[in-house]
Amino acid sequence: MKLRIFLIALLVFAGAAESSAAPEVHALWAHPPEAGKTVESVRAFVAKCKRAHIDVIVMDVKDSVGGLYWKSKKFPQAIAPGYENFDMLEHLVREAHAVGIRVDAWLVDYLEGANGAAIRAHPEWAQLNPNGETTLSETLGKTRPYPYVWMCPAQRPGYTDQWLIPLYEEIAANYKVDSLHHDYVRYPGDVAPDSYCFCDYCLKNIPRYAMLSYQTRAGERYRVGGAQPLIQANWWSDPTMIPSNWNDLDRREKADFILNGRTIPGGPPDMRYFFYDYRVHQIDRFVRETTERVKKANPKAEVSAAVFKNPIISARFIGQHWDRWNPWIDVYMPMTYRSHFAGSFDAYLEHLTETTQRQLEWIGRGRPLYAGIASTYLFREEYQPYDTMRDRLSEMQALPSSDAKGRAAKAGLIAAAFNEARPRLVQIVPNVAKDLDTLVSSVTANNGSGATAANMDQLAKRLAAFRADIPPGFLPQEKLAASINAARKAKPDGIAIFAAGSLDREKMWEVLEREFKTEAAR
């Protein structure tokens, strides 16, 4: 009898232990077009998320050109065109909460458009490179102009305290969002990792931050002591680290010293350590101040962040040392997208598990972490021939019709890419295969001599249409399922999928309906 009671107690206890384990959270990044601009479209979008077992919608409410998707009273001039009379955030929060879905308001932090409201009002807030130019002077690849202006995180007063944090505060105070979400919470690293920021404020404040010289008796110079034969071992002897002619140097010369100078004459070129540390400090400070202001405005609101996959390497390249953010960040969503991994798809699966394990280790499991998976990049192999065709075609369109040799070369590459794509296409969507076959032939036949502006344009449009609305069944859904399960092996607190628009385009919603349901039933 006693044994029976003990066994029952044991079973009850085991059951309780199992149900107390936190369930895997499912988050989904989404952009305003997916929710539409009517009450009905927002409701339909939320219903679609509910069917896919999404617990948190991470909705972009400040986009990469600075457009806002709520009725901002502080910055009405920044409201995205077309949203002046439709408060998307308000409708989304109401509809999502009605079905038990949480809303995380996503802000693209330091990016603004070339003609955005912030830069129009305050051009001096932009980050500058050693030439005194903004990020608009950069290029993507060899020729495409970079379309965004990165704003300086350090300046006070500046973009951070006069514009960005007030935006966070306004949402936290006026909307019942569950959380606010940082993105681009960093310096530009994709185009120019070491060129920003050398604005006047930063040129003054990088040396001040590291106290590379004294403000008192600023004119006195002290030489490095010689107690130790290894010259840099005398770093503690208080040598003056800033050159005596510092105030006469121009922006380029100062930047050169900060990047390539030596703290100890005759020692290694180590000055840039302070440049990296300054940038990390600025981003840390912004994250801390945002959370303080958000929690003050609404103590229940959480703060989450989309971060790069490796906080140690990001600290060096983009100032994002996110493994130190446990005091301020409630949920991490690392962008462990395949685009940030080099190998095959199978290599990605293993590296995704390993990277997620390391991320949990970096933060000491001190906060929840949702593994971020981007659907679209999983299909690198499937998309490859189409992207090759699109790019070679665009190059062919730019050639003069007199360049027969050049056009023949491009035509050959387009035909080869199509041959590569054809088998899968014929098997899965024969009508599309036939359609494309006709168009490709018209452009590539007889070494491209039949190519006209009209048929090249037609092919370009057909390829774009294919990419924008992939036929159902064309992309292998098992790749998304396998990625979710590879992340799960590391036991993260949740999975975050990027993004609702790709799920539409790539017909992947049913993968979430299946995969996330399995988890819900566990």
Residues near Zn ion, by CB under 5 A: 152, 154, 197, 199, 202
Q: Which amino acid is at 150?
A: W
* CA–CA distance, 389 with 443 (Å, rounded to integer): 11
Minimal distance, residue 127 CB to Zn ion, in Å: 6
Contact predicate 359/372, CB 8 Å: no
Distance in angstroms between the alpha carbons of the first and the last residue of the chain: 33
What is the secondary structure of 196-246 as a DSSP string?
Answer: ---SHHHHHHHHHHHT-S-STTTT---PPP-SSSSGGGGGGG----S-TTG
CB nearer Zn ion, residue 150 or residue 362 = 150
Residues 6+ apart with CB under 8 A from 446: none
Q: Could you identify the residue written with the tokens 């229940």?
A: 300
Whichever of 318 and 451 has its CB closer to Zn ion, that residue is 318
Residue 497's H or E segment, with its range, is strand 494-498
Compute the least distance from the CB of residue 126 to Zn ion, in Å. 9
In the complex, minimum distance from the CB of residue 205 to Zn ion, in angstroms, rounded to a whole number: 8
Sequence-distant (≥ 6) Cβ neighbours of residue 117 within 8 angstroms: 66, 75, 77, 78
| Comparison of 198 and 332: residue with beta carbon closer to Zn ion | 198
* Cβ count near 356 (within 10 Å): 25
* Shortest spacing between CB 199 and Zn ion, in angstroms: 3
Residues in CB range of 2: below 8 A, 6 or more apart:
none
Which is nearer to Zn ion, 84 or 250 (by Cβ)? 250
Nearer to Zn ion, 79 or 199 (CB): 199
Q: Which is nearer to Zn ion, 90 or 161 (CB)?
A: 161
Burial class (CB in 10 A: 0-12, 13-18, 19+), 398: exposed
Encode 249-272: b = buried (16+ Cβ within 10 Å), e = exposed. Answer: eebeebbebbeebebbeebeeebe
Pick 320 or 375: Cβ nearer Zn ion: 320
Please list, in sequence order, all residues whose beta carbon lies within 8 angstroms of the beta carbon of residue 331, skipping any fewer than 6 positions away. 179, 302, 304, 305, 367, 368, 369, 370, 493, 494
User: Least separation, in Å, of the C-beta of 290 and Zn ion?
Assistant: 18
Closest CA to 370 of 501, 484, 482: 484
Q: How many residues does the chain have?
A: 522
Q: Closer CB to Zn ion, residue 49 or residue 154?
A: 154
Rounded to the nearest whole angstrom, what is the least distance from the CB of residue 206 to Zn ion in the complex?
9
30 within 8 A of 183, measured Cβ to Cβ: no
* Helix segments in 64-162, DSSP class H: 88-98, 117-121, 159
Q: Which is nearer to Zn ion, 258 or 373 (CB)?
A: 258
- What are the residues whose beta carbons fall under 8 Å from the beta carbon of 148, sequence distance 6 or more? 64, 65, 111, 112, 113, 114, 135, 136
Query: Shortest approach of Zn ion to residue 154 CB, angstroms?
Result: 5
Query: Closest approach of Cβ 382 to Zn ion, in Å?
Result: 42
Please state the closest distance from residue 422 (CB atom) to Zn ion, in A. 52
Is there a contact between 45 and 74 (Cβ–Cβ < 8 Å)?
no
Which lies closer to Zn ion via its Cβ, residue 132 or residue 366? 132
Q: Which is nearer to Zn ion, 134 or 502 (CB)?
A: 134
Tell me whether residue 202 or residue 490 sits nearer to Zn ion (CB atom): 202
Closest CA to 65 of 17, 136, 14: 136
Q: How far is the CB of 151 from Zn ion (least distance, A)?
A: 9
- Cβ-Cβ contacts under 8 Å for 378 (sequence gap 6 or more): 338, 345, 348, 479, 480, 483
By beta-carbon proximity to Zn ion, the closer residue of 196 and 337 is 196
The least CB distance from residue 203 to Zn ion, in Å, is: 8
**Region of residue 448 (phi > 0: left; psi between -120 and 50: alpha; otherwise: beta):** left
CB of 434 to Zn ion, least distance (A): 56
